[in-house]
Amino acid sequence: MQQTPVIVFERGPKAIITLIVVVFVLNACFASSDASVLNNINNMLRDVPKKLKPLAIINASTVSSGPHVTGVRLLSKQLNVLMTRRREDYELLERNLLKSLRITMENERKQNSIATKINANNVKNSANNDWDLTKQLEQLRQEVQSLQTKHLGGNNERLTIEWLQQSVGELRKQLVELQQIASNAMRDVTTRTQSWEDLATIRSDFQQLKLELATLKERQQQTEVFLQELREETQQQEEDFRHLLQNKHHQQPEQLKQQQINAINESQDSKGRSSSNTEETMDDEFANIQVSCVVLCWLKTSVNF
C-alpha cells in the first residue's frame, strides 16, 4: 500500500466547501474509472479476429469461456486488485481529509476560545493586559527574529564558506597561470636580451670590418696609383733607353749594350718583385675580409632563427 499524505486546509468556511467538492470529485472519478476500465477491456476483446471467439466481460470477476480464458482471468484479477487498491487509497484520502478538517475545526475552536478568554480578560483589566500583550508580542517577535537570523546566518555562513572555497580555488588556478606566464615572459626577455647583445656585438664587428675594408680600399688605391706610376716610369725609361740605343747604336760597344740591358732587366725584376709582394699582401687581406664577412652573415642568420 502507498502512503497518502495528510492534507491540511486553511481555516474558515472555505475549507469545508473545498473538502465537500473534493469528496464529490473523488467519488465521480472512482465511478468513471470503473466504467472506463470495463469499456476498454470490452473494446480490446472486440478487436480479436473472427477465428477466435470474441470475449466479453459480464462482471469484474466473471469472464466468458474461450481459448484465452487464463489471460483474461489474470487481467480481471489484476484489475480487481488495482480497483481495490484505488478504493483503499480513496478511503485513506477521505480519512485524511476528515482528520485535517477535524484538526482545523479544533484549532479554530481553540483559537476562538482563546480569543474569547483574552477579550474577557481585556475587558476586566484592559490596561494591564494591553501592556502584558505588547510585551509578549515583542518577546515573540524578538524570538522569531532571532530564530530567523540564526537560520539565515547558518545558511549564509555555509554559502559564504562554499563561495570562499570556490574563489580560493579559482585564485590558486589564476596564480598558477600567472606564474607560468611570468616564467615564459622571463624566458622571452632573457632570450631577447641575449639576442640584442649578440646583435650589438655583431654590429660593432661589422663596423670594424667596414673600417678595415675602407682602409684596405685606400691602401689598394694607393698601391694601384704607385704601380701605375712605376709602370709609367718603366715605360718612360724603356723608351728613353730605346732612343739612346737607337741614337748611339753605332757609337757604343757591345759591352756597354750588354751592361745597359742587364741593368734594365735587374730594375724590372726588382719592380716586379715589389709589385708581386704588394699584390700577395692585398690578396691575403681580401681573403681575411671575405672570411670575416661569411662569419658575420652566419651569425646574423643564427640570431634571426
Is residue 62 pLDDT above 80, yes or no? no
Average pLDDT over residues 7-29: 53
Least confident piece of the model among 31-45, 148-162, 260-274: 31-45
Is residue 278 pLDDT above 80, yes or no? no
Q: Within a 13 Å sphere around the CA of 224, how many CA atoms are in the beta-carbon half?
A: 6
Average pLDDT, the chain: 71
Is residue 54 pLDDT above 50, yes or no? no
Contact yes or no for 131/138 (Cβ under 8 A): no
**What DSSP string runs through 104-138?**
HHHHHHHHHHHHHHHHHHHHHSHHHHHHHHHHHHH
| Cα–Cα distance measured from residue 28 to residue 109, given in angstroms and rounded to the nearest whole number | 32
Average pLDDT over residues 77-93: 86
Residue pLDDT, tens place only, 103-131: 888 888 888 888 787 776 666 666 666 67
Euclidean distance between the first and the last CA atom of the chain, given in angstroms as a whole number: 82
Is residue 231 pLDDT above 70, yes or no? yes
Virtual CA dihedral for 269, 271, 275, 281, nearest 10 degrees? 80
Query: Tell me, what's the pLDDT at 16?
Result: 54
Average pLDDT over residues 135-153: 73
Helical H runs in the chain? 13-46, 69-124, 126-247, 254-304
Average pLDDT over residues 118-145: 72
State the cell numbers at 31: 465511478
Average pLDDT over residues 195-217: 89
Is residue 39 pLDDT above 60, yes or no? no
| Cα–Cα distance measured from residue 25 to residue 30, given in angstroms and rounded to the nearest whole number | 9
